[in-house]
Structure 1
Amino acid sequence: MISQADRGRGPVIVVADFLGAYSLRLIPGIREVLQARGVPLLVHVHDYFTPGVSPLLRHVFAGAGPRAAIVLPMSKAQSRDDLDRLLAAHPDVPAVALGTASGQRPSVRADNRTGMAELVRHVVDQGGVQRVVLVRGVPHHVDSVEREAAARETLAQAGVLLDESLVVEGGFARDVTYDAISALVRAGHRFDAVVALNDEMALAAVDALCDHGLDVPGDVLVTGFDDDETPHPRCSLTTVSQQLHQQGRRAAELVLDLMDGAPAHDVLVETTLVRRSSTARALPAAPSGTPAARAETGRDAVPAGQAAATNAALDLNRAFMSCAGEQDVMRELGARLARLQVSRCFVVLYDPAPEEHPAERRGRLALVHPGVVGAQGAPEAPRFPVADLLPPGVRHELAHGTLLLQPLGVRGHELGHVLYEQQSLLQHTAEVLRMDVSLALDTIARHRELEATVARRTEQLRREISVRERAEADLRAANAELRRSLHRDGLTGIANRSAFDEHLAWAWARHRGDGGELSLLFVDVDCFKLYNDTYGHLRGDTALRAVAQAMEAATLAPGDLAARFGGEEFAVVLPGTGSAGAVVVAERIRQGVRRCAIEHRASPVVPWLTVSIGVATTRPGGALVPQDLVQAADEAVYAAKTAGRDRAERRPVVGARS
């Protein structure tokens, strides 16, 4: 058990479930105040997609002994509730809620009411505004309730009657808002302003209005709230800044006061109206993407050094594909940390958890940057309790600066954790150090498990001569699985082009003998170059992984194979499947990708990512060859794209092609 004296020497911990634009603007303010007092900061970012509190965070509270905690809003209710229980179990750790109201601990929040009132008065003062659309957030969400109440009150004070038929539900979500505004326009409602309770909904309203031929701000003024600095090609958004940097500073000041024994109290931070082109009716709006538009927003410039760090991240991702062991991964990572602008980095890999006492799990230091410490990275490196985060020789590194702490693992399988420091926090670095390192280590672990399976089966074969035939079958199956793992695409995790060619040849030979039907799908991600140009290659890689997962989820039969054909093109081999069945699978894939709801505002089809699918079916035989089936599927996907994309088209297979 950590004593109060030991805990007093520990870091202040910030708990977040995602390192994005919001948290990246809060943390520097926290860091400034704590650094001035010589207090170390530990930022724990767990996996956003995993509900609940990460085991690593429980280890931190059990071992590292944080002296205080600053809690950012949790995206999932289970994560919030689990964190509340964890903090309640450590009443000696003073805690502050940042960005959200909390009945259990003091909070630091933005002054929603004053900011929204100033925003609405600005809209009304533009002149001629009489019919206002109010886009609501999440019912009972504190920010949503406060902002809506202030908007209604200020409109009433200005003599503008709010028509309840123009109050729509946006749910703080882009797609819900886009549909709601589109429905108003199609129904013939007339309005001259849209007041949305956050920026995401406001930008969705801009898209919906422009897609229906209306001009912003010429026909309709649009405002948001949050100033999340998301660039938009159609206009720059008038909004309210929550002063996130100042919120971070106030949260750090409050937690220091609590540590000094001061009484708890809530802090309300002033907001600031940010006027931009979405309400500048008196000024002509600069065309999308012009230098004038970019100069107005001031948000399109790439931060200094970010391009170099992005290139290093892409280079690291490619290097991981050829790594055969953990030491290879650590070597490639260590060689690029300086280019990733990481000044300190420690990677700890875990031993298997004891079945009866998982809390006693131990780890070993696999990488330290800069410099070399002892036998780092070697299998014989000294083990230490995971709850200590770092071994005794380097544990003093927790006592200064700001370290980001992220778990390493895939699908709930804990592999280790990484601690690192950057002067200028970059989101893509966090993603590389969590996702790419985790995937590389997981791939190696799976290869090692398969190799161990082969070894065990081989030894069993030697000892069990009487059941040799069965043992040989098991060995072949294990070796087949090992070979298949080597035919996986390094980016998406599904089969690669080589595996596709082999599987198609196998299926062709099989049905040439039994006369069965064989179908092939070609899947092409619509407007993917535009997606990469808009969001960058890292987000593009994430989108390709999501498409691959949707394809694998849609291929249900044992002989089906989903593969990456090349770039943004995928293929699905469907043995024993006729044309009707192939169309069903194609539709499952198309709908699966749609359900991923991956934003693609640059797409001319719809503002989210879609796929076009070509379907071809034949009975192998006669003069036909597999290339005839491939060419038919390729022509079909071309027809789907020509017909408008986001659809599936069928084409017949014709032999004897030149």
Structure 2
Amino acid sequence: MVSARPIRIGVVTDRMDDARAQVIGGVESVVRPSAAVLALVHHRLNPWRGGVLGGLLSAGRLDGVVVLPVNSADTGESRLHELLPLLGSVPTVLVGPRHPHLPRVGVPDDTIAGTVLDHLVEDCGRRRLLLVSTPMQRDGVSRRRQAMEEAAAGRGVSMSTPPELQRCVDRHSARVVMADWLARRRGEAELGFDAVVCTADDVAVGVLDALDAHGVAVPGEVSVVGCGDTDVAWGTSPTLTSMDIALRQQGAAAGRYLLDRIAGRDVPTSGTVTRVDVDGLRIRSSSLPLHDADQLSAELPWTDDAAIVDRLLGREAPDPLQQDLETQVAARQQLRHATALTVLRRGPTAELTRLAGLGDDWQRLLRGELSHESRLALSRRLEEIVRSRPEEIWWRAWLEVLRSRLASQVPATADPVVPRLLSMTSSLTVERVLGDAREDRERQTHLMAAQVLELNQSLSGCTTVVGMNRALRTYLSRLGLRRFFVAIYERPIRLPADGTPSPAADERPSLRLVFEHGMGCGGAEAAVDEELLAGADVVTPSRLLPARLAAELDEGTFMVQGLFGDDGYYGLFGYEGSGRDRHVGEVMRLAMSRVLESRARTGDLEARSRELAGLVAARTHELELEVANRQQAQDELRAANDQLRSALLRDGLTGLYNRPALDEHLARAWARARRTGGVLSVLICDVDRFKLLNDVVGHLAGDECLRRVGRVLAGAGDRASDMVARYGGEEFVVVLDDTDLPGATRVAERLLDSMRAAALPHPGLGQGGLVSMSVGVASSSGLAGVAELLGAADRALYQAKDDGRDRVRVTRAPVSSGS
């Protein structure tokens, strides 16, 4: 059933090369303009199962699908089984792969094998064949290999298939594998083979490279045959023979089949629905460049009939390696004659007919119905046109044909205009016409290559999507790409270990259209990637383009490829093109993938940098907290130690310093006094009749008395360097730093005054009895140490006791015997 919208045909393949481009071109030639073509390069296009193809099919946006080979790039295994669940009931046809339940278009393998073997055995006389192929897991390769082996056996020739030569995936791998294989056989007397059969042209070119590097003459010693007749075989040196397997015709047959299915016509739905005949072998050589239909149509715009074009392809021209020079010249003359017949059949262009006023004179001339006078009038009008516009290339070609036609119908003696006309056009041969067109095509090709190179260089310096867009905007028009779009994921989809990512739907990043060309506004403008992504349209695999651009996929041919790197998927891009643009598309895919990979890695580095900065900040904060905690712990420990030290150095009863503290302080004070030349004085205080007080009121009352005495004494040392300590029992010591004997005596008197003012009761002395104190004073002058100082103060104390208590006595410094 035909959809209300234009028919849309999908073509699915694993990669884009010459062979696949020819098949797509064949599909285009049949389905357009009634249908649009959407070519999906499936390899790594989908970051999860189903992906773009599944989205388009589930949304009903593809009316039919052509499936080309879809093989794993890593293992060579067919991935057709991954597509089958997605296809459902959508009309599908295979070109290359095989499946028992799906229709297929193809060339019989036995036909290919028979043609190749006939050429090598009968035409070239080869008897020892070597098969070099792509991996056996690829679609159709094992069947083609089996057909080759059977064809060789049927012709009585040998065909060896070394396992190491059956895993070549492209030109590079074929060159490396073949070179290694030849290197291991270098010591053998002979090669052991005189022909190499390759299952693909790119593999055959790699084999040519290896043979040439090892000094093997091709085709002198060894003949090399490829398969596909693709552009990669053009201009090879040594010469490559390639099997034409009618790839374009296969694509056309697939397109016709799908149109029949979509239109509801009764066609088979499984098996080989179309067997495409082949024209046989063609020679590809840099010495004899032939033209395929696309190229010839572009160079000779007055032809569009495929049958006529085929006559110009030289398919019947003899192999120049098998024929002499005379035969080659004859072949070129036949080519010229075929071209003349084509131009003659087509006649002059509509513009020329109008300008010359020919009307139907041309067809009447061909039928021989023009009178002599009419032919003369016609020739005169043509002479005027030749003189006025000789630069038109197709006019010159037409005039070349006209030369022979007029010469046969208008005798030179009867019409003097004809000889002049023939003279003017004598040098305008068909070969010159084709040569001019070929030179123009080569100039265009070189210009295209230069533009692609400049774009690649421009993109190589980009690390942002914004920079990539600027480069694309500059070069796309120059490359002739009319429509183009790029959509990228907000963040790359990383490849897991098994290489088959399948994130949950809610974990998939959005796909955003970041660039468009020739389809509307030209894409979002932004200064930085974040701004660009925020303002870009969100697209889905089921649509590829937003609703405002959905109609763009309903006309022409769009190629859609994935953008990916070694570690992830970045997005996809699509462009309107044909097989001729595949090299441009591949260069752009690689260049844009590098940009996005660089962007992703830069983002990873920035994210890692931010992560490390966060870790450093967090660790720094932790260390700061740890330092603060340690500092607090140290302060607390120091305070605890101070408290402990204070507790150890304080008297538990009075709170004054104890004897150990006194000894330590006296040692420091004595050393300081000796160092500075100062004077150190001490007061030893003793509570009078304290034993009597204890005996009368008890020790608890005695302890209270000592505490109150300690409070009175605590005010004696009012400087930081002074010290008051309990010496033992009821004795106390006051240390006065930098104080001479008179000053110490005054302090002692003040202490006694304070004791008297305190009026501490002494029950042992009767009613009104008060506690009193005796004080002994001594200074360091003339003394040898702390012990002498304390001894002198103690003697003064006893003197105060002997003199009646409650008084101060002073021990004078001893006078030296020499004074």
TM-score by length of 2: 0.48
Aligned residue number for residue 196 of structure 1: 197
Aligned residue number for residue 268 of structure 2: 263
Q: Determine the C-alpha separation between the residues in 2 that align with 1:375 and 1:207.
A: 45
- Alignment match of 1:55 (pick from 51, 59, 62): 51
Q: CA contact under 8 A between 1:216 and 1:235: conserved in structure 2?
A: yes
Q: Determine the C-alpha separation between the residues in 1 that align with 2:83 and 2:538.
A: 27
Counterpart secondary structure, 1:107 = strand
Structure 1 residue 362, shift from structure 2 partner:
3.2
Structure 1 residue 147, shift from structure 2 partner:
4.4
Structure 1 residue 241, shift from structure 2 partner:
0.5
- Alignment match of 1:327 (pick from 458, 466, 474): 466
Q: Determine the C-alpha separation between the residues in 2 that align with 1:68 and 1:277.
A: 35
Cα RMSD over matched residues?
4.2
- Alignment match of 1:125 (pick from 122, 125, 143): 122
Q: Determine the C-alpha separation between the residues in 2 that align with 1:215 and 1:324.
A: 47
Q: CA contact under 8 A between 1:310 and 1:428: conserved in structure 2?
A: no
What amino acid does structure 1 have at the position aligned with 2:166? Answer: G
Matched, 1:13 2:15: no
Q: CA contact under 8 A between 2:46 and 2:52: conserved in structure 1?
A: no
Counterpart secondary structure, 2:157 = coil
* 1:112-511 pair list within 5 angstroms: 112-126=109-123, 129=125, 131-135=127-131, 137=133, 143-148=140-145, 150-151=147-148, 161-163=156-158, 168-169=162-163, 170-171=165-166, 173=168, 174=174, 175-180=176-181, 186-189=187-190, 193-198=194-199, 199-200=201-202, 202-203=204-205, 206-207=208-209, 210=212, 213-228=215-230, 229-231=232-234, 233-261=236-264, 262-264=267-269, 265-266=271-272, 267-276=274-283, 282=322, 305-323=444-462, 325-352=464-491, 357-358=505-506, 361-370=509-518, 372-373=520-521, 376-377=524-525, 378=532, 379-411=534-566, 413-423=568-578, 425-451=580-606, 466-467=621-622
Aligned residue number for residue 591 of structure 1: none
Q: Determine the C-alpha separation between the residues in 2 that align with 1:45 and 1:52.
A: 15
Aligned residue number for residue 93 of structure 2: 96
Q: Determine the C-alpha separation between the residues in 2 that align with 1:113 and 1:416.
A: 42
Q: CA contact under 8 A between 1:113 and 1:146: conserved in structure 2?
A: no
What amino acid does structure 1 have at the position aligned with 2:590? Answer: M
Structure 1 residue 210, shift from structure 2 partner:
4.8
Q: Determine the C-alpha separation between the residues in 2 that align with 1:277 and 1:5.
A: 43
Q: Determine the C-alpha separation between the residues in 2 that align with 1:466 and 1:147.
A: 70
Counterpart secondary structure, 1:116 = helix
What amino acid does structure 2 have at the position aligned with 1:246? Answer: Q
Q: Determine the C-alpha separation between the residues in 2 that align with 1:306 and 1:207.
A: 24
TM-score by length of 1: 0.58
Q: Determine the C-alpha separation between the residues in 2 that align with 1:470 and 1:104.
A: 72
What amino acid does structure 2 have at the position aligned with 1:67? Answer: D
Matched, 1:106 2:261: no
Q: Determine the C-alpha separation between the residues in 2 that align with 1:319 and 1:192.
A: 48
In our comparison, the structure showing a higher alpha carbon Rg is 2
Deviations 1:179-216 (A, max 9, x none): 55666674334767314143455445545555555433
Q: Determine the C-alpha separation between the residues in 1 that align with 2:130 and 2:237.
A: 21
- Alignment match of 1:76 (pick from 72, 79, 84): 72
Structure 1 residue 86, shift from structure 2 partner:
3.6
Counterpart secondary structure, 2:513 = strand
Counterpart secondary structure, 2:93 = strand
- Unmatched runs of 5 consecutive residues or more in structure 2: 169-173, 286-318, 326-331, 333-430, 494-501, 526-531, 627-819
* 1:558-577 pair list within 5 angstroms: none
Q: Determine the C-alpha separation between the residues in 2 that align with 1:281 and 1:324.
A: 52
- Unmatched runs of 5 consecutive residues or more in structure 1: 286-291, 472-658
Deviations 1:60-81 (A, max 9, x none): 3344632221111123288976
Q: Determine the C-alpha separation between the residues in 2 that align with 1:201 and 1:384.
A: 39
Q: Determine the C-alpha separation between the residues in 1 that align with 2:42 and 2:78.
A: 15
Q: Determine the C-alpha separation between the residues in 1 that align with 2:211 and 2:602.
A: 52
Counterpart secondary structure, 1:341 = coil
Structure 1 residue 454, shift from structure 2 partner:
5.1
- Change in 2 beyond 3 A, CA 1:79/1:303: farther
Structure 1 residue 43, shift from structure 2 partner:
0.9
Q: Which moved more, 1:174-183 or 1:396-405?
A: 174-183
Counterpart secondary structure, 2:564 = strand
Deviations 1:304-344 (A, max 9, x none): 63333332333233333554642232122122111222110
Q: Determine the C-alpha separation between the residues in 2 that align with 1:83 and 1:154.
A: 28
Counterpart secondary structure, 2:224 = strand
Structure 1 residue 277, shift from structure 2 partner:
8.0
Q: CA contact under 8 A between 2:486 and 2:516: conserved in structure 1?
A: yes
Q: CA contact under 8 A between 2:103 and 2:268: conserved in structure 1?
A: no
Percent sequence identity over matched residues?
A: 24
Q: Determine the C-alpha separation between the residues in 2 that align with 1:366 and 1:345.
A: 11
What amino acid does structure 1 have at the position aligned with 2:219? Answer: P
Q: CA contact under 8 A between 2:456 and 2:588: conserved in structure 1?
A: no
Structure 1 residue 98, shift from structure 2 partner:
1.0
Q: CA contact under 8 A between 1:367 and 1:376: conserved in structure 2?
A: yes
- Change in 2 beyond 3 A, CA 1:455/1:97: same
Q: Determine the C-alpha separation between the residues in 2 that align with 1:350 and 1:310.
A: 30
Counterpart secondary structure, 2:485 = strand
Q: CA contact under 8 A between 1:29 and 1:249: conserved in structure 2?
A: yes
Structure 1 residue 453, shift from structure 2 partner:
5.5
Q: Which moved more, 1:247-256 or 1:417-426?
A: 417-426
Aligned residue number for residue 627 of structure 1: none
Q: Determine the C-alpha separation between the residues in 1 that align with 2:137 and 2:606.
A: 53
* 1:613-632 pair list within 5 angstroms: none
- Change in 2 beyond 3 A, CA 1:386/1:146: closer
Q: CA contact under 8 A between 1:347 and 1:368: conserved in structure 2?
A: yes
Q: Determine the C-alpha separation between the residues in 2 that align with 1:227 and 1:373.
A: 42
- Change in 2 beyond 3 A, CA 1:188/1:370: same
Q: Determine the C-alpha separation between the residues in 2 that align with 1:318 and 1:334.
A: 14
Structure 1 residue 56, shift from structure 2 partner:
3.5
Structure 1 residue 428, shift from structure 2 partner:
3.1
Counterpart secondary structure, 2:110 = helix
Q: CA contact under 8 A between 1:70 and 1:98: conserved in structure 2?
A: yes
